A and B are shown apart, each in its own frame.
Chain A
């Protein structure tokens, strides 16, 4: 038995769409909508070991990282909300700070150890994870390299 399905196709048939319709909007096999969303997820995960000469104040370095993460969030957010999680770990020796963004209006920071280190830093490790159920093609590893990689 056919059923009507309104999604703007131009079809020669007048009886509407059915399970054999090639439009791709039907799921006669009962595909899981949750899994469909998850399978389209953007998952980017990258680490860098960086050095700098001259050394950089740790607070300035952290602000640069936060700025890069905000840039990514702005590309992925819809109505101010990231449908995912953008997070990073910045490590300078035994001191570290993590960053977390889920909404455009805030970057959460959690410090570990004696952050910030008292002296300017010459070497650090940075890990950035971008997890989003919205993948609009604007964020990729090339962008991460541009934002956080060596220049």
Chain B
């Protein structure tokens, strides 16, 4: 069972990307379970994902990187025991910090867990987000194996922005994408290729 932690700033397109990814993965015959962490008490993202026929374990009312990290670990363990899917996709809240959750899994998760981290960057708001929210953006990209440079249908991924993202996520594979417009099979193929490149780099 592989785990994909999917993080990124509020509104960066995580849910849209995950929905496409899930459809692409299941079209290839893979079994997938999803853990949805939303900061609010009421779920919007979980409903969107569940509408696609995917089993969703919701974690509301707190952020998995600090407030409810124990619940996240328990949820993943339960999923592994009960379902043993090929993949567990964890959509982190837009307030979560990637490095914190990754470290939690490494410290308290089952030894040998195959953990992958994907951070979604919002190209449409990138310069303003980086200027105003740099400390958060930095921590949300740090430790990412893959950075999905999203919304390139709205704003092209320019070299300056890509250099900035690469500097914040050293060693990450950057994948320009339009989650809203991409075909599900393409999203999964791009992610799979990016994971292979990461593994090939020996990271």
Is the pair A112, B136 in contact by a Cβ cutoff of 8 Å?
no
Whether A33 contacts B132 in the complex (CB less than 8 A), given A88-B44, A129-B44, comes out as no
Whether A87 contacts B95 in the complex (CB less than 8 A), given A79-B128, A100-B11, A133-B136, comes out as no
| Residue B29 at the chain A interface, CB threshold 8 Å | no
Whether A129 contacts B40 in the complex (CB less than 8 A), given A84-B94, A100-B11, comes out as yes
Q: Give 1 or 0 for each of A116-148: 1 = CB within 8 Å of chain B CB.
A: 000000000001010111000000000000000
CB-defined contacts of A32 to chain B, threshold 8 Å: 135
Query: Number of residues in A with C-beta < 8 Å to the partner?
Result: 38
Q: Give 1 or 0 for each of B113-129: 1 = CB within 8 Å of chain A CB.
A: 00000000010110011
Q: Which residues from 43 to 68 on chain A have a C-beta closer than 8 Å to any C-beta of chain B?
A: 43-47
Whether A103 contacts B95 in the complex (CB less than 8 A), given A89-B47, A127-B42, comes out as no
**Interface residues in chain B, defined as those with a beta carbon under 8 Å from any beta carbon in chain A:** 10-11, 16, 38-45, 47-48, 51, 63, 94-95, 97, 122, 124-125, 128-129, 132-133, 135-136, 138-139, 180
**Interface residues in chain A, defined as those with a beta carbon under 8 Å from any beta carbon in chain B:** 32-34, 36-38, 41, 43-47, 78-79, 81-85, 87-89, 91, 96, 98, 100-103, 108, 110, 112-113, 127, 129, 131-133
